[in-house]
Chain A
Amino acid sequence: MSTVHAHTVLIVAAILFVLGLAGVLTRKNIIFMLISIEIMLNAAGLAFVAAGSRWQQADGQIMYLFILAMAAAEVSVALALVLQIQHQHKTLDVEQLTALKD
């Protein structure tokens, strides 16, 4: 198994992050925005793992576990909110969900 250079992995992570970000900014549906956020989180986790293997430290993998736990919690809360939004407003389009403006 040939070794992969850390900066190659970091480039992949950056591409993933930008993809996620573009999803958040362009998608209308909240569920797709949530998925995009998940992608961004995983991009960050990938960067941690790559850094951990580069310096032969366990910290990177530990941080990934934290991110995993946090993402799980976030998704459970977010999906509950999404359900409520669908229930009350009969839509998941962020363009129409502007009740929190001034």
Chain B
Amino acid sequence: MQQYLYLIPALPLFGFLVLSMAGKHLSRNLIAGIGAGSICASALIALILSAGFLQSPPESGAYTQILWHWFLTDHLSADISLRVDALSLVFICIITFIGALIHIYSAEFMRHDRDYARFFASMNLFVCAMLTLVMADNLVLMYLGWEGVGLCSYLLIGFWYETPGNYRAANKAFVITRIGDTAMIIGLFLLFKELGTLYIPDILTKATEHFNSGSSTITLIALLLLSGGIGKSAQLPLQTWLPDAMAGPSPVSALIHAATMVTAGVYLVARMHTLFELSPTAMHITAVIGAVTLFIAGCSAMVQTDIKRILAYSTISQIGYMFLALGVGAWSAAIFHFFTHAFFKALLFLAAGAVIEILHHEHDIFKMGGLRKKMPVIYYTFTIGAAALAALPLITAGFFSKDQILWYAWSAEGGHPLLWAIGLAGAFITALYSTRLILVVFFGEMKTTPGHLPGAAMTVPLVILAFFSIAAGWIEWPHNLLHVSIFSEHVAHALPATTLKAGLPPEIVFQLIAVGVSLFGIYSGYVLYYGESPLLMRWKQSQGLMDVRNFLFKGWKFDQLYDTLLVKPFLFITGINKADVSDKVYTAIADINLHLNKLFSVSQNGSLRWYVTGVLVGILFIITLQLLL
């Protein structure tokens, strides 16, 4: 099986090459066949691979394949070589499986788009880059995938580049993630300087011998790597690009949010877990960033009116949970939340895309409403997705993963009651806005007449994803309820187990509180948004509350903050330097010479008599000088 490893990223790459070179001459069916087919094939290989892995894990803990030497300098050798261990395997399965469903969905969703081939080519390259990122066995190759993901997100967010503003969103995503990337590459340089290798297994073994726990170098390296992750995963303070990234087509949003791109940061931190474990400071910062982000983004999601922006903020918030879990040392819980989140977030985006399409590109949820009867399949699947997001207890996958994170946020070694409290507040907010979304979009009276309903290629992926949004959680139960922990046992091959503090209250107390909070959130949403709510009406009258709402609506005004802090001063400085102040010295030299030239060229008047006089005066001058001296 190991020798076919390269096919997983190579098939999407092949799809990209064919579609980008010959896409113009192919029929639409063929384009969809190549685009979706290549991902489906690699999903199939990934499934067979993981079946093999689960049955008999390789002795070294990973499948490896060295394809060729990329480059070799004095000390640094980078190979194009793949390594799949338990952690990568989870990511590969999610990327290819969900990627395949999204591609099948796009085949119909993008049917009438002019640039059908360009769309599938970019999507295939996106999947290929992400697979390279998670399968790379050295950080150089991983960085290649990392940048590839950034490039493809740029191409796809700006896919409809003719609509004004879309290219801005694409630029923003590219530039802001680039800030993180720069920090990350500096981190890689430092790591190479310290350890002399960028081969991942070597780094993980050497780091424990080389660094003292908590030394400033390792903290710096961990923080630089974390900054890279923060940029890609849209965490505070680099989160502002993700809500704007909604400019792309809905399948692109689904792909960015569920399978690729934003989870890259989670992967990076989990992959480099040894470095983070050596630096408690970096771990604390990760946890705090996650907790603050999940709260901030959750608050913004509560008041958005654009259906896709609600989902975008909810993604930032859910990734915040993952970072929180990583920061407290609950590695397996973070990856498990990634696993379940991928299903329900892809489902939500694809269903939202379908709703938008049926309602003639209407994004505002308050212009939707009453769609329950018209589109039952989308209604049920969307509700399942939202329930999973709200972590409806025991039924949905979201519950199992979020409950674990909340429990570890207090009980794990790096945990703190405050982190737990913020997580809990986030859970309440999540439940509230999920309920709001469902009630406003699907209940009440109809405000826009729906167009014709989508076909099977769009609904079947929704149903499959809905099934997994429920069932994906059953492989890992809280161990006080049921002894099923397939996922954490699998991930334990690659990630260390979570250590707990001593003297904790029983886990069931935390679970009951979490359950109570989510149910209360759902109930609050129901009270506020089902039909005409007098409470909401009264709130809308209050000026103070509306100011808070507008503040949250603008995403805590982070864009304005960065505008005043960075963009305006920069523009001010460029405004001053418009006339090239620094060049003044050099232009002055030229100016003086030109001036002298004008002055002396008066003497070149063409009169022979004048010249002779000049010569004479010169001679007299020299003779006088000699006589005097």
Query: Are the CB atoms of B608 and A101 closer together than 8 Å?
Result: no
Whether B612 and A24, one on each chain, are in contact in the complex, defined by CB atoms closer than 8 angstroms, is: yes
The answer to whether B612 touches A102, judged by C-beta atoms less than 8 angstroms apart, is: no
Of chain A, the residue at the smallest CB distance from B598 is: A102
Q: Quick check: which of A49-57, A64-72, A90-98 contacts chain B, the rest being far away?
A: A90-98
Which of the residues A21, A24, A33, A98 comes within 8 Å of B607, measured between beta carbons? A98
Complex Cα distance A99/B604, Å? Answer: 11
- Shortest A70–chain B CB gap in Å is 18
**A28 and B607 alpha carbons, distance in the complex (Å):** 11
**List of A residues within 8 angstroms of B505 by Cβ:** none
Contacts of B56 on A, CB cut-off 8 Å?
none
Chain B residue at minimum C-beta to C-beta distance from A21: B616
**B122: min CB distance to chain A, Å:** 64
Q: How far is the CA of A101 from the CA of B602 in the complex (A)?
A: 9
**Interface assignment of B601: CB less than 8 Å from any CB of chain A:** yes
For residue A100, CB closer than 8 A to chain B, the reply is yes
**Is the beta-carbon distance between A98 and B616 smaller than 8 angstroms?**
no
Q: How far is the CA of A21 from the CA of B604 in the complex (A)?
A: 21
Minimum CB distance partner of B608 in chain A: A94
Contact with A along B597-629 (1 / 0, CB 8 A): 000010011111100110010000000000000
Residue of A whose beta carbon sits closest to that of B603: A102
B605 & A98 in contact (Cβ 8 Å cutoff): yes
- Determine whether the beta carbon of A97 is less than 8 Å from that of B605: no
In the complex, whether A25 has a CB less than 8 A from a CB of chain B is yes
**Of A21, A25, A98, the contact of B606 (CB 8 Å cutoff):** A98
Q: Which residues of B contact A101 (CB under 8 A)?
A: 604-607
- Complex Cα spacing A100 to B604, Å: 8
From B601, B604, B605, B612, contact of A25 by CB (8 A):
B612
Cβ contacts under 8 Å, B612 to chain A: 24-25
In the complex the two chains form, what is the Cα distance from A101 to B601 in whole Å? 9
Q: Which residues of B contact A100 (CB under 8 A)?
A: 604, 606
The CA-CA distance from A49 to B607 in the complex, in Å, is 35
Residue numbers in B under 8 Å from A95 (CB-CB): 607
Q: How far is the CA of A101 from the CA of B607 in the complex (A)?
A: 8
- Distance (Å) between the CB of A18 and the closest chain B CB? 11
Cα A95 to Cα B610 in complex, Å, equals 10
Docked Cα-Cα span, A100 to B616, in Å, equals 20
Bound together, the chains give a CA A21 to CA B620 distance in angstroms of 13
Asked if B608 and A102 sit within 8 Å, CB to CB, the answer is no
Contacts of B607 in A (CB 8 A): 94-95, 98, 101
Residues of A close to B616: CB separation below 8 A: 21
Q: In the assembled complex, which residues on chain A have CB atoms less than 8 Å from the CB atom of B601? A: 102
List the B side residues contacting A25 at CB < 8 Å: 609, 612-613
Residues in B with CB closer than 8 Å to A99 are 606
Give chain B nearest CB distance to A41 CB in angstroms.
Answer: 15
Q: Is the CB–CB distance between B608 and A97 below 8 Å? A: yes
Chain B residues closer than 8 Å to A33, beta-carbon distance: 608
Q: How far is the CA of A49 from the CA of B616 in the complex (A)?
A: 24
Q: How long is the Cα–Cα vector from A99 to B606 in the complex, in angstroms?
A: 6
User: In whole angstroms, how far apart are the Cα atoms of A9 and B604 in the complex?
Assistant: 38
Cα of A94 to Cα of B609 in the assembled complex, Å = 8
B404 to nearest A CB, angstroms?
A: 89
A27 to chain B, nearest CB (A): 9
Residues of A within 8 A of B605 (CB): 98, 101-102
Report Cα–Cα, A63/B423, bound state, in Å.
111
A50 to B: closest C-beta gap in Å: 20
Q: How far is the CA of A95 from the CA of B608 in the complex (A)?
A: 8
**Nearest A residue (CB) for B609:** A25
Closest chain B residue, CB of each to CB of A27: B609
Docked complex Cα distance between A3 and B604 (Å):
49
- Distance in angstroms between the alpha carbons of A98 and B609 in the assembled complex: 11
Instruction: Give 1 or 0 for each of B40-67: 1 = CB within 8 Å of chain A CB.
Output: 0000000000000000000000000000
Q: Which of A94, A97, A102 contacts B604 (CB 8 A)?
A: A102
- In the complex, the chain A residue whose C-beta lies closest to that of B607 is A98
Distance in angstroms from A84 CB to nearest chain B CB is 16
Q: Which residues of A contact B609 (CB under 8 A)?
A: 25, 94
B583 CB → nearest A CB, Å: 29
Which residue on chain B has the smallest CB distance to residue A95? Answer: B607
Q: Chain A 1-45, CB within 8 Å of chain B: the 1/0 string?
A: 000000000000000000001001100000001000000000000
- Chain B proximity of A97: nearest CB distance (Å): 7
Q: Report B223 CB to chain A, min CB distance, Å.
A: 67
Within the complex, the shortest CB–CB distance from B578 to chain A, in Å, comes to 36
CA distance in complex: A58, B605 (Å): 44
Interface centre among B606, B607, B613 (most CB of A within 10 A): B606
- The docked-state distance in angstroms from the alpha carbon of A24 to that of B613 is 10
Q: How far is the CA of A99 from the CA of B608 in the complex (A)?
A: 11
Closest to A100 in B: B606
| B-chain residues with CB within 8 Å of residue A98 when the two chains form the complex | 605-607
Residue of A nearest to B597 (CB): A102
Q: How far is the CB of A38 from chain B (nearest CB, A)?
A: 15
Interface centre among A97, A98, A101 (most CB of B within 10 A): A101
Give the docked Cα–Cα distance between A95 and B601 (Å): 18
| Nearest chain A CB to B142 CB, angstrom units | 67
With the chains together, A20 CA to B263 CA distance in Å?
99
Q: CA of A94 to CA of B610 in the docked complex: distance in angstroms?
A: 11
For B613, the closest partner residue in chain A by CB is A25
Residue of A nearest to B616 (CB): A21
CA–CA, A97 and B613, complex, Å: 17
Residue of B nearest to A101 (CB): B606
In the assembled complex, the CB of A10 is this many whole angstroms from the nearest CB of chain B, namely 16
**Most B C-beta atoms less than 10 A away, residue of A21, A24, A98, A102:** A102
Name the distance in Å between B599's Cβ and chain A's nearest Cβ: 11
With the chains together, A100 CA to B612 CA distance in Å?
15
Q: Which residues of A contact B606 (CB under 8 A)?
A: 97-102
In the complex, how many angstroms separate the beta carbon of B519 from the nearest chain A beta carbon? 95
Contacting residues, chain A, for B613 (C-beta < 8 A): 25
- Nearest CB of chain B from residue A47's CB, rounded to whole Å: 15
State the A residues within 8 Å of B (CB): 21, 24-25, 33, 94-95, 97-102
5 nearest A-B pairs in the assembled complex, by CB-CB distance: A101-B606, A98-B606, A102-B604, A102-B601, A94-B608
**What are 10 A-B residue pairs whose CB atoms fall within 8 Å in the complex?**
A21-B616, A25-B609, A25-B612, A33-B608, A97-B606, A98-B605, A100-B604, A100-B606, A101-B604, A101-B605
- 18 additional A-B residue pairs with CB within 8 Å, beyond A94-B607, A101-B605: A21-B616, A25-B609, A25-B612, A25-B613, A33-B608, A94-B609, A95-B607, A97-B606, A97-B608, A98-B606, A98-B607, A99-B606, A100-B604, A100-B606, A101-B604, A101-B607, A102-B604, A102-B605
